[in-house]
Amino acid sequence: MKIKYGIVVFPGSNCDHDAYYVAKKIINEDSAFLWHKENDLQGSDVIILPGGFSYGDYLRTGAIAKFSPIMNSVIEFANKGGIVLGICNGFQILLETGLLPGVMLKNESLKFICKDVYLKVENKNTIFTNKISEDVLQIPIAHGEGNYFADENTLAELEGNDQIVFRYSSPKGEISDEFNPNGSKLNIAGIVNKQGNVLGMMPHPERSSDSVLHKTDGIGIFQSITETIRSKVAEV
Amino acid sequence: MFKAIVIIKRRPSILDPQGKAVEEGAKLLGFNNISGTRIGKYVEFNVDAEDYNSAEKEVKEYAEKLLSNPIMEDFEFHLEEAK
């Protein structure tokens, strides 16, 4: 049985094809594009909200996308325990919908940053990371608004519940301001919700999953998701 | 018909790097008396409503649900009957 990855396409999405490609050609699962005006998730086992500039990032990143018809279905899917991965703009949309806590501010430098960064994998017991063997991943970021912000209580809660999955770090996994590219609180690069079925991350694993690119550190995330779903199906 | 203006500001506790950068520019130009620059958003639109109260209700809801994000922003609005 193949796992079906549903990739939501908003006007302005631009990493949708990369995600589709990884799902279909790299990990050899099934994949489908889900247009934002539809509300049918087409039987997807996992939903990806891809990177890009949905609705031109007008007003605030992700602010308008959250009212797309497809998002009602995605929110319902997530609330029932469905697996949702938001990458970059997808993460920003998850924050706007409230599926994940916090907001994204402009990068502290005010610059759009496109470069490889190192991520310490802080929690390997999630749906999204349980097949990752490395402690530190090298995955690119490409964003102007990835400066994660939440109030102190929310941050304490995220830490207490092990919801911080990825932090910007040195190649050896040291966490400090020096390795924080955008000013994010606690060097946060990716978080899960309390239930553990929704992950948002600013770095782009779909851009580092093909060996042709000599960068494959992102593939573990897709493998983790796939294996989790497959083992669940096997249990039933 | 009513005319509404909504002004969205970052909460005081939220860093405004854009405002900070613009203020740096002000200093370079010699505007040494300028401080506390904060950059926000200005949105104007018409509201087709029976009376002021229902127009006000709609503007508030619009600003709360879409125009601002309460985690980082506050808003204020001005509303008047269109002439």
A206 labelled catalytic: yes
Instruction: Say if residue B16's pLDDT is above 90.
Output: no
**pLDDT (0 to 100) of residue B59:** 97
- Confidence class for position A117, pLDDT limits 50, 70, 90: very high
The mean pLDDT of chain B is 94
Nearest residue to A22 (alpha-carbon basis) of A204, A219, A199, A226: A219
Choosing from A29, A88, A122, A145, the catalytic residue is A88
- Which residue of B11, B15, B24 is the best one to mutate when testing the A interface, meaning the one whose CB has the most A CBs within 10 A? B15
How many other CB atoms are there within 10 angstroms of residue A26's CB atom? 18
Rg value, chain A, Cα: 16
Q: Strand, coil or helix: what is A39?
A: coil
Partnered with residue A34 across adjacent β-strands are A8
A110 CB neighbours in chain B (<8 A) are 17-18, 21
Where do the DSSP E strands lie in A2-43?
4-9, 30-35
Mind giving me the DSSP string for A219-234?
HHHHHHHHHHHHHHHH
Residue type, A141: I
Q: Give, for A120, the enclosing helix (H) or strand (E).
A: strand A113-121
Q: Identify the residue among B43, B68, B69 best suited for mutation to test binding to A, counting A beta carbons within 10 A and taking the highest.
A: B69
- A29, A122, A145, A206: the active-site residue: A206
| pLDDT above 80 for A22 | yes
**Tens-digit pLDDT profile for residues A131-167:** 999 999 999 999 999 999 999 999 999 999 999 999 9
**Predicted pLDDT at A151:** 94
Structural domain total, chain B? 1
Element (H, E) at B42: strand B41-47
Q: Do B21 and A63 touch (CB under 8 A)?
A: no
Please report, as a single letter, which amino acid is at residue A133: S
- Please provide the distance, in angstroms rounded to a whole number, between the alpha carbons at the two ends of chain B: 8
pLDDT, average across residues A22-27: 96
Task: Provide mean pLDDT across the span A193-198.
Answer: 98
Q: Residue B69 and residue A63: Cβ atoms within 8 Å?
A: yes
What chain A residue is nearest to B65 in terms of C-alpha separation?
A63
Global pTM value? 0.91
Q: Can you give the pLDDT at residue A101?
A: 98
Say whether pLDDT at B21 is over 90. no
Instruction: Give the tens place of pLDDT for each residue, A83-105.
Output: 999 999 999 999 999 999 999 99
Among A59, A64, A105, beta carbon nearest to B72: A105
Chain A residues closer than 8 Å to B67 by CB: 59
Strands A164-169 vs A113-121: parallel, antiparallel or unpaired: antiparallel
Q: In residues, how long is chain B?
A: 83
Q: Among residues of chain A, what percentage have pLDDT more than 90?
A: 94
Active site residue A204: yes
Provide the CATH number for the domain around residue B29: 3.30.1280.10
Which of B17, B69, B71 shows the shortest C-beta gap to A106? Answer: B17
Average pLDDT, chain A: 96
d(CA A208, CA B68) in angstroms, rounded, equals 34
Range of the domain at B40: 2-81
Q: What is the pLDDT of residue A110?
A: 87
Mean pLDDT value across residues A187-205: 98
The pLDDT value given to residue B83: 79
- Nearest residue of chain A to residue B67 (CA atoms): A59
Banded model confidence at residue A30, pLDDT cuts 50, 70, 90: very high
- Do B17 and A105 count as a contact with CB atoms less than 8 A apart? yes
Sketch out chain A's domains with CATH numbers: 4-235 (3.40.50.880)
Neighbours of B22 (CB within 10 A): 14
Which of these, A36, A101, A212, A3, lies nearest to B70 by C-alpha position?
A101
Instruction: Name the DSSP letter for residue A112.
Output: -
- Predicted-complex ipTM score: 0.77
